[in-house]
Amino acid sequence: MQSFDELNLPPQLSRVLKKIGFEKPTKIQSQAIPLLLAERDLMACAETGSGKTGAYLIPMVKALMENPQPQGLVLAPTRELAQLISDFLKTLVQSDRSFPISLLVGGQDIRKQFKSLKSKPRIVIATPGRLIDHLNRKTLKIHKVQHLVLDEGDRMIDMGFAPQLEQILKFLPKHRQTSFFTATLDKKVKSLAEKYLVDPETLLLDEARPVATIKQSVVQVAAKDKDNHIVSELKKRDGSVIVFVKTKRRTDELRKHLFEYGFAVDLIHGGRSQGQRNQAISKFKNGKTRILCATDVAARGIDVPHVQHVINFDLPMQDEDYVHRVGRTARNGAHGEAVSFVSPSEHRQWNRLAKKYEIPGRPLEGSDREESRGKKKGKRPFRFSNQRRKKNSRGQGGQKRSPRA
């Protein structure tokens, strides 16, 4: 498929695509859309920012516009990704008032969701937990779902949603079309996909890795010096920045630290209400906030085209999250920078990431190697005394740091 004009789309959908500049399909769109229009089940592995949302929503909307009886359902692992999908879907169906949709995510007023569901939505976008809540309340039935999408299937597994997905499966009709999109394809992902898909087509595009237009670099810094170092990094950079932090408490502390230095900064993490998260993202998108401190809840599902820099204050827990973090910059062919703060205890993890994703630069040497050498010689690695450990567990201003999570 070389052009969307080849698809014989409904006129209103075709006009919208031209209006928003969808002229030439991306690689995943050109391969996935014909298969989905042929009503095949699909398992697709594609990197972040490849256009996969359009790859499954465009054929779903086309099919449902041509047949008013069935429904569509899109499952996403995070509220932010679900919101992003909903926003794009609203754009696609903006000229069709007879095409209601519902967004069902936790942290939002469930009474508004009840009202939305009374409109009999053609497509539901949901996170697994809130969808199950509605199914148990019997405020939603999904027996008419003929088009099902599981987006970011690998993230679903990472976040422990596999049991909830199996529960949802019991409510779905056996005969349906299912597509499964993922950035990585390991045994666990394949096992989950097999429970949902029937004789699927498989598209193995580029597995997730940073795009070439991202300038990646590393800064070696002691953990205790990160607070001071990030101030100097931010002062020498122009434009908007997302700073990724490992824990919710440390995110709160860092936001306070940067605010005291006069930076326009906000934060987003799983401990914030949905309203707070939406407000923080809106302010960041509108340029009212220059810096957004975030845990990995923001690594996927936030599309802010103007992000010039990503700073990994802490390295991620999962290797794949590195790609999704740095993928918040250099969107849609733009250029961006990603810098990672790496303490001596993280050298080994960084070297693994650098090798896996072909990040330029020499391997880091330091305490990881020294500790390994000490073990080989039968030496006991250095440990903090209890008194020293308590002292070092306190951050700036004597505040106790959160445990690693």
Q: Please indicate, yes or no, whether residues 141 and 284 belong to a single structural domain of this protein.
A: no
Cβ atoms of 62 and 9 within 8 Å: the answer is yes
Higher pLDDT, 328 or 312: 312
Position 268 pLDDT exceeds 80: yes
- How far apart CA 68 and CA 56 sit, in angstroms, is 18
Cβ atoms of 25 and 51 within 8 Å: the answer is yes
Higher pLDDT, 326 or 332: 326
Q: Please indicate, yes or no, whether residues 158 and 265 belong to a single structural domain of this protein.
A: no
Q: Please indicate, yes or no, whether residues 66 and 179 belong to a single structural domain of this protein.
A: yes
Of 204, 239, 266, the one marking the end of a domain is: 204
402 located within any domain: no
Q: Please indicate, yes or no, whether residues 181 and 218 belong to a single structural domain of this protein.
A: no
404 located within any domain: no
Q: Please indicate, yes or no, whether residues 200 and 218 belong to a single structural domain of this protein.
A: no
Residue 398's pLDDT is 40
Residue 380's pLDDT is 47
239 located within any domain: yes
Q: Give the pTM.
A: 0.70
Q: Please indicate, yes or no, whether residues 58 and 124 belong to a single structural domain of this protein.
A: yes
Comparing C-alpha atoms, which of 107, 339, 151 is closest to residue 237?
339
Q: Please indicate, yes or no, whether residues 180 and 78 belong to a single structural domain of this protein.
A: yes
Of 175, 204, 233, the one marking the end of a domain is: 204
Q: CATH number of the domain at 44, please.
A: 3.40.50.300
Residues 192-233 have pLDDT tens digits of 888 889 999 999 886 667 778 899 999 999 999 999 999 999
100 located within any domain: yes
227 located within any domain: yes
Residue 388's pLDDT is 40
Q: Please indicate, yes or no, whether residues 121 and 185 belong to a single structural domain of this protein.
A: yes
Phi, psi values for residue 61, rounded to 5°: -65, -40
Of 185, 204, 223, the one marking the end of a domain is: 204
pLDDT, average across residues 141-162: 92
Q: Please indicate, yes or no, whether residues 387 and 245 belong to a single structural domain of this protein.
A: yes
Q: Please indicate, yes or no, whether residues 102 and 134 belong to a single structural domain of this protein.
A: yes
* Distances 53 to 142, 176, 199 between C-alpha atoms, Å: 21, 19, 22
Burial of 19 (0-12, 13-18, 19+ CB in 10 A): exposed
Domain residues for the domain of 284 are 214-397
What confidence category does residue 271 fall into, taking pLDDT thresholds of 50, 70 and 90? confident
Task: Print the SS3 string covering the chain.
Answer: CCCHHHHCCCHHHHHHHHHCCCCCCCHHHHHHHHHHHCCCCEEEECCCCCCHHHHHHHHHHHHHHHCCCCEEEEECCCHHHHHHHHHHHHHHCCCCCCCCEEEECCCCCHHHHHHHHCCCCCEEEECHHHHHHHHHHCCCCCCCEEEEEECCHHHHHHCCCHHHHHHHHCCCCCCCEEEEEECCCCHHHHHHHHHHCCCCEEEECCCCCCCCCEEEEEEECCHHHHHHHHHHHHHCCCCEEEEECCCHHHHHHHHHHHHHCCCCEEEECCCCCHHHHHHHHHHHHCCCCCEEEECHHHCCCCCCCCEEEEEECCCCCCHHHHHHHHCCCCHHHCCEEEEEEECHHHHHHHHHHHHHCCCCCCCCCCHHHHHHHHHHCCCCCCCCCHHHHHHHCECHHHCECCCCC
Q: Helix 110-117 to helix 128-137 angle, to the nearest 10 degrees?
A: 70
Q: Any residues with CB less than 8 A from the CB of 358 and at least 6 apart, and which?
A: 209
What confidence category does residue 300 fall into, taking pLDDT thresholds of 50, 70 and 90? low
Token pair belonging to 138:
């019997």
What amino acid is encoded at 346 in this protein?
A: E
403 located within any domain: no
Comparing C-alpha atoms, which of 305, 34, 323, 405 is closest to residue 152?
323
Q: What is the dihedral of CA 229, 234, 237, 241, to 10 degrees?
A: 120
pLDDT, average across residues 321-340: 86
Residue 275's pLDDT is 83
- How far apart CA 330 and CA 167 sit, in angstroms, is 38
Residues 154-192 have pLDDT tens digits of 888 888 899 999 999 999 999 999 999 987 787 888 888
Residue 48's pLDDT is 66
Q: Please indicate, yes or no, whether residues 198 and 220 belong to a single structural domain of this protein.
A: no
Residues 235-266 have pLDDT tens digits of 999 999 999 999 999 999 999 999 999 999 99
Comparing C-alpha atoms, which of 30, 38, 45, 34 is closest to residue 193?
45
296 located within any domain: yes
- How far apart CA 180 and CA 366 sit, in angstroms, is 42
Residue 342's pLDDT is 96
Cβ atoms of 112 and 139 within 8 Å: the answer is no
* Distances 166 to 78, 103, 128, 157 between C-alpha atoms, Å: 18, 21, 10, 12
Residue 272's pLDDT is 87
Residue 368's pLDDT is 53
Q: Please indicate, yes or no, whether residues 319 and 365 belong to a single structural domain of this protein.
A: yes
Domain tally, the chain? 2
Residues 348-360 have pLDDT tens digits of 999 999 998 889 8
Residues 71-117 have pLDDT tens digits of 999 999 999 899 999 999 999 999 788 899 999 999 889 999 999 99
Residues 353-402 have pLDDT tens digits of 999 888 988 889 866 545 445 444 554 443 333 444 444 444 444 444 44
Comparing C-alpha atoms, which of 34, 71, 78, 77 is closest to residue 56?
34
Token pair belonging to 231:
């101030």
23 located within any domain: yes
